[in-house]
Chain A
Amino acid sequence: MSAPARPMVEVEGLDVVLGETTILERVTFAVGEGKIFGLIGPNGGGKTTLIKTIVGLIRPRSGVVRIQGILAPGPPASRPGYVPQRPLLDPRFPVTAFDVVMMGRYGRIGIGKRASPRDREIVAEALSRVGLSELESRPIGRMSGGQQQRVFIARALALEPRVLILDEPTAGVDPVAEEDFYHLLMRLRDSLRLTVLLATHDVDAIRAIVDEVGFLNRTLRFRGAPGEVLGHEELRHLYGGAP
């Protein structure tokens, strides 16, 4: 096995330009194995763009992203699990929770091939890890917002990733579900030895679960331990004072 300090996510000199607008400039950072990295910053500061670039949905103008040391977007086995910000697109889409999680597996199954019993096991296990085994045959549109969120996490886990990337995962989720969600995230990190990159507005979450924080506003302005970054002069007014 690799050394414990091995960086699982490496971002080097990333420039992203969409149309005429520079969204990201010389963004560089790395996340070590098993760490939870919190990405904060104002709306429009480029958090979602950075995440989409790391996941391989946006091509940077320059710079590189490596996941597990492999240039992204790599083969399915080296892809990160990705939980997008958007809620369910079409609540009437005729698929069950199990079907949605199985979709996350498709990259591994291969195009035109059928799911094997092993794939079904992995999907069932992903659902059980997020505590939704009982609801696996419920249509996705008939689940609560918090349940859908957990289905999407299970879908990301079905790819058997080493890295999990979440974009504002608790937006629109009630406070109790939010707390449960962060507990779940810590459990997953510990049991699967996941490395987590989390974009969030939630200061409590940053203090409670994040190992390191980066403040992104076009470029990565500061990074460090949560207390340090949140206590920074420039951020105090944004995040409600010192820790």
Chain B
Amino acid sequence: MTGILALGLMRRALVAGLLVSAVCGALSPFVVLRRMSFVGHGVAHAAFGGVALGVLLGVSPVASGAAFAIGVALLIGVVGRRGRLSEDASIGILFASAMAFGIVCLGLIPGYAADLFSYLFGSLLAVTRSDLVLITVLAGATLVLLLLFQKEFLFVAFDEEQARAVGLPTTALQTTLLVFLALTVVISIKVVGAVLIAALLVVPGAGALQLSSDYRRVFPLSIGMGVLSAAGGLVVSYLADLAPGATIVLVSTGLFGACLVFGRAWR
């Protein structure tokens, strides 16, 4: 890739990558503290199934991906509250089925092997202007939501039963968090792909929790770690001509390793 075209693409990729990683970083401490990393995984694969169906039917892949992701996220919530099946088993069933469904859908379209690869592993350099608008709007909405209701989300994560006992609408709060997690996953598919999103949702929060035991610092640290991973990953992938999504995830894993080592010394 050369010249102005590459730089233009790169700039859009950079903005998309930074926004998505910031939102994932903001959600990440909740995902880690509520032990929802597998939920993130399940929702990501469900979104992939929805995106593939959208491509097959010629409707907006983002819309169908979002519908699938939200549907599965809510289903996981219901199963978690009153199901006879454990949450991890239900996610295991849902995510493999949605994934298989997506692969079958894409297989029905001749010549779509390349797209299959890009949805699974990201195609950051193919982010369009309208993708970027959507990412910006959703990222903004998610960050505002997390700022407004941080104390409530935190309480539900810490002790759901007690939150209910003092009169907080815990089911509504949890459902909202799951819906926004699902939307974040959908906008992240172009950046890192369905397979690797879980890393963006888990690694920054896990790293930040190594560095601080005060949530006021954990959230900014987690966002910072996400953004740093995206920026670093994109630069490295550009210079060394590597897959951008995977490079971002590897950089974030490296940062997590550093948090693990230095976290002990700081605390």
Quick one: given A94-B212, A111-B149, are A89 and B159 in contact (CB under 8 Å)?
yes
Q: Number of contacting residues on B, CB 8 A?
A: 27
Residues of chain B in range 183-223 having any CB-CB distance to chain A below 8 Å? 209, 212-215, 217-218
Contact with B along A68-79 (1 / 0, CB 8 A): 000001011001
User: Does A218 touch B at the CB level, under 8 Å?
Assistant: no
User: Does A103 touch B at the CB level, under 8 Å?
Assistant: yes
A76 to B167: give the CA distance in the assembly, Å.
6
Quick one: given A107-B168, A111-B169, A112-B149, are A95 and B162 in contact (CB under 8 Å)?
no
Q: Are A57 and B215 in contact (CB-based, < 8 A)? A: no
Write out the residue numbers on chain A whose beta carbons fall within 8 Å of the beta carbon of B169.
Answer: 111
Q: Are A100 and B158 in contact (CB-based, < 8 A)? A: yes
Instruction: Tell me the smallest distance from the CB of B32 to a CB of chain A, in Å.
Output: 10
Q: Are A94 and B159 in contact (CB-based, < 8 A)? A: no
Quick one: given A92-B213, A96-B214, A139-B214, are A57 and B158 in contact (CB under 8 Å)?
no
Instruction: Tell me the smallest distance from the CB of A184 to a CB of chain B, in Å.
Output: 20
Quick one: given A89-B158, A103-B155, A111-B152, are A57 and B164 in contact (CB under 8 Å)?
yes
A119 to B29: give the CA distance in the assembly, Å.
26
Instruction: Tell me the smallest distance from the CB of A5 to a CB of chain B, in Å.
Output: 27
Quick one: given A79-B165, A106-B166, are A95 and B154 in contact (CB under 8 Å)?
yes
Partner of B213, one of A56, A106, A141: A141
Instruction: Tell me the smallest distance from the CB of B8 to a CB of chain A, in Å.
Output: 40
Q: Which residue of B lies closest to A108 (CB)?
A: B166
Write out the residue numbers on chain A whose beta carbons fall within 8 Å of the beta carbon of B129.
Answer: none
Q: Which residue of B lies closest to A114 (CB)?
A: B151
Partner of B165, one of A82, A93, A139: A82
Quick one: given A84-B162, A94-B209, A106-B152, are A99 and B168 in contact (CB under 8 Å)?
no
A115 to B164: give the CA distance in the assembly, Å.
19
Residue of B154, B159, B161, B166 ringed by the most chain A CB atoms within 10 A:
B166
Q: Number of contacting residues on A, CB 8 A?
A: 33
Partner of A94, one of B148, B149, B218: B218
Q: Which residue of B lies closest to A104 (CB)?
A: B166
User: Does A90 touch B at the CB level, under 8 Å?
Assistant: yes
Write out the residue numbers on chain B whose beta carbons fall within 8 Å of the beta carbon of A94.
Answer: 29, 33, 209, 212-215, 217-218
Write out the residue numbers on chain A whose beta carbons fall within 8 Å of the beta carbon of B164.
Answer: 56-57
Q: Are A103 and B214 in contact (CB-based, < 8 A)? A: no
Write out the residue numbers on chain A whose beta carbons fall within 8 Å of the beta carbon of B209.
Answer: 92, 94
Partner of B162, one of A75, A90, A111, A155: A155
A111 to B167: give the CA distance in the assembly, Å.
10
Quick one: given A94-B212, A141-B213, are A79 and B166 in contact (CB under 8 Å)?
yes
A92 to B75: give the CA distance in the assembly, Å.
29
Which 10 residue pairs across A and B have the least CB separation, nearest first? A107-B166, A107-B167, A139-B213, A94-B215, A76-B167, A103-B155, A82-B165, A94-B213, A94-B218, A55-B165
Residues of B within 8 A of A (CB): 29, 33, 148-149, 151-152, 154-155, 157-159, 161-169, 209, 212-215, 217-218
